[in-house]
Structure 1
């Protein structure tokens, strides 16, 4: 399903933190949000998974305004991995992942065989098979991240909304997670701090700065030295990755864009 965000404005505590944002994620496309801290990435994603209501504008799912969806209906279409992790919940890993099946279950109904199969498959996908009975609160940050991603996978959504999903993951698990997202090819909105990971993973990038979308397009077109200097304040060269051919950003760690 395609996501369209039209003229989205969000005001928090009297301050406009997102101003008139327009962006899309086409069906089956991985669309990345990149930008400095405080640029509005998380705020935008929270409006998509309905944690925040926009002041103006709308979010469309396959052409339909998300505000017309009931909660369970929306959850059958959109799964979110927010930055808020809920680390202290008193659940096992399996119980946490099984929450992804809640939108499909009738009140007071138990798990179906399909539910059990999807939960088991999701645990395998993220490498947590055999960890089902551990307490979620006892997991490391990276393990919690993978359990929450398994919950999103078990939800079988049309759209994934992922806010910094590689946080707390070691390099191997970062690479594995990005490979999983490529293989699934769900419509995905994802925010990433790692610009090289974004360039490798995403079909389309939207660059946010001071609450505005200032550039959109394929990574090769968007990630230019001039944009990196203007938006991120860094001096960098954009070259071809020697292994993949993707854009590779080589940062000047000895100075900045202004020196």
Structure 2
């Protein structure tokens, strides 16, 4: 399914944190949101999985306004891994993952054979089969992250919405999670701090700065030294990754950027590669 945001704005405590954003994740595409802290990435994602209501604009699922769907309907199409991870559930890992089956069940309905099979497959995909009977509260931060991703996968959504999914993961599990996203070929909207990870896993990048969209397009076209200086305030060279051929950003950790600041509210959005929103 295709996710599109039309002129989306979000206001929190009287302050506009997302301003008139248009962006898209096409069916089967991984679309990344990147930008400095406070640029509006999490607020934007929260409108997609309906934790926040936009103050203006719409979120469209295959052309249908999400606001017109019942929560259970949208939960069958969209699953989220938010930054807010919830409390220390007094449940087993298997029980937490099985919560992803809730949109398909009636009130108080027990798990059936299909639920158990889907839960087991989700646990296997994130490498937690051996931990299925452990208490969720006793997991490490990285294990919890993988368990909550398994819960989202058990939901069998058309669209995944992930907010910093590699947080708390060691290098190996970061690589495995990003590879899993590529293998899924499921429509995915993901916020990432790691620009090299974004360049590797995403088909399309949307760059946010102070609540405004300032660039959209393929990673190779979006991630330029000029944009990195203007938006992130860093000096960097963009080269070819020697193993994958993806863009690889080499940061200068000794010298700050000197590019002049721009006002994201008035700067035109860079549509790289003729990408249509």
Aligned to 1:211: 211
Residue in 1 aligned with 2:25? 25
Which residue number corresponds to residue 12 of structure 2?
12
Matches within 5 A, 1:57-68: 57-68=57-68
Question: Secondary structure of the equivalent of 1:130?
Answer: helix
1:87/1:144 contact within 8 Å kept: no
Quick one: distance in 2 between partners of 1:204 and 1:84? 25
Q: What TM-score does the superposition give when structure 1 sets the normalisation length?
A: 0.99
- How far apart are the structure 1 equivalents of 2:171 and 2:34? 20
Q: Deviation of residue 130 (structure 1)?
A: 1.5
For residue 151 of structure 2, what is the aligned residue in structure 1? 151
1:155-194 mapped onto 2 (5 Å cutoff): 155-194=155-194
- Deviation of the 1:92 alpha carbon: 1.1
Q: Alpha-carbon deviations, 1:9-45, whole Å to 9, x = none?
A: 1110010000001100000000000000000000000
TM-fit CA distance, 1:87: 3.5
Aligned position for 1:47:
47
The two structures have a TM-score, normalised by structure 2, of 0.92
Greater CA drift, 27-36 or 87-96: 87-96
For 2:231 and 2:247, the matched residues in 1 are separated by: 18
The secondary structure found in structure 2 opposite 1:149 is helix
User: What is the CA–CA distance in structure 1 between the aligned matches of 2:85 and 2:109, rounded to whole Å?
Assistant: 27
The structure 1 segments of at least 4 consecutive aligned residues displaced by more than 2 Å after TM superposition are: none
8 Å CA contact 1:76–1:104 kept in 2: the answer is yes
Are the equivalent residues in 2 in contact too, given 1:7–1:21 (CA < 8 A)?
Answer: yes
Gaps of 5+ in 2: 260-277
Q: Compute the displacement of 1:258 (Å).
A: 2.0
Determine if contact 1:4/1:60 at 8 Å carries over to the other structure.
Answer: yes
**Alpha-carbon distance, 1:106 to partner:** 1.5
Matches within 5 A, 1:81-120: 81-120=81-120
Equivalent in the alignment of 2:268: none
Please give the per-residue CA displacement for 1:89-120, whole angstroms capped at 9, x wherever unaligned: 22111111000000001222211111100100
Residues 127-138 of structure 1: matches in 2 within 5 Å?
Answer: 127-138=127-138
Calculate the aligned-residue CA RMSD, in Å.
Answer: 0.8
* Cα offset, 1:135, TM superposition: 1.1
DSSP-derived class of the 1:254 partner: strand
Rounded to whole Å, the distance in 1 between the matches of 2:109 and 2:233 is 54
- Give unmatched runs, 5+ long, in structure 1: none
Q: Structure 1: how far apart are the matches of 2:55 and 2:255?
A: 40
